[in-house]
Structure 1
Amino acid sequence: MIVGDVMLYREGLARGLDRLGHVEVVDSLTSPAATEALADTPPDILVLDISSPDTLDIIRPLICAQPGLPVVGFGVGGQADAMRCAEAGISSFVSREDSIEDLDQAVLMAARGEAVCSPRMTARLIRHLAALTGKAHQRTDNCLTAREREVASLVKEGLSNKQIAIELGISPATVKNHVHMILEKLNMPRRSSIGMVV
């Protein structure tokens, strides 16, 4: 599925990919229409025009609608754009200077579960991830109480709230409150994220 707000781009990409014959374009939609279409009939790959400044605002609902859906972003302007795309959940990047053949290859690689990213961008993403991990560890040490660190450690081991309650001699409701505070303090979206920083 190709998603973009400029019909000319969408139609051109659909025809170009069709001409190459490696992938089948099932639909070509604007971002609001794509959100609804993804709920009904999800494609194998989403090809997203990210050249518009507000595209990253709409990618999150698209990815939330279909977690695990590979997204190939095209029209990436530079490394800063690619970094924002990676943070939004886009797994492959095709720059503004790349060809329809490059996009075709990116889609085929995404279908195999591979990501397309230049070596320079890969290095930058690794450095960025290392910096985030370091900040997260620093946040853990600085802002969690001793009890919250204990709870976080047990969450990391995969224990349920009930198991943690038994282990620490507190109620499951208290554990739930601690987990909520940990997520809030570390600015994390879900419980499974705790294990990545503790």
Structure 2
Amino acid sequence: MSVVSKTNSRRFAQLLAGLVLYGASMALMIQAHLGLNPWDVFHQGLAESTGLRFGLVVIAASVAVLLLWIPLRQRPGVGTIANVLVIGVAVEATLAVLPAPGALWARAGFLVGGVLLNGVATGMYIGARLGPGPRDGLMTGIVARRPGLSVRLVRTAIEVLVLAVGWLLGGTVGLGTVLYAVAIGPLAQVFLPLFTVPGPAARRRPAPEPEDQSSGR
């Protein structure tokens, strides 16, 4: 097997592992019942208001966001499509086997473990360099179409909007929401360099800034 083939195999394997772990991290935070990240507050709110399974809502929302790429002239990669399909299935599968803890200390452990695992998963799937998640692509697409806007401003505006809508629909906002907002940037900054796959894709363009890519999906 050539070096290029080995690199590509690693990238695909790392992408899938990262997306599965991302779904598992979401399940840990859901079962902690201490607050979710902004997009998952939105997903949970939609699930509560529609009666649909959480994983199905994640997939449906991903498809809807991906459709918004069309007027922005964004092109999805293999990682983008995998992101749409794998995370929702992974979170639903994990929720099916993961019991909700009763004790506060156990719930706190689930929360901290979920945030840490999310940081690892973020580094893995972004580091595979096979295409951004639908939500990341929406953010970068808006910035590309409106050069006067900063990535940080656009990302903040999007996440505040989905957080507010999700909360109004019944999503859980709490300590976990704050912890995620504070911790995910530094965690991604630690894990992204560790998991970035070297090769032609890495030489053609610089690695993405963790602070701009850490929202996940």
**TM-score over 0.5 (shorter chain):** no
TM-score range, shorter chain: under 0.3
* Bigger helix fraction: 2
Structure of greater relative contact order (alpha carbons < 8 Å, 6+ residues apart): 2
Q: Which has the larger radius of gyration?
A: 1
Relative to the length of structure 1, the TM-score reads 0.24
In proportion to residue count, which structure has more strand? 1
- So what's the TM-score if we normalise by structure 2? 0.23
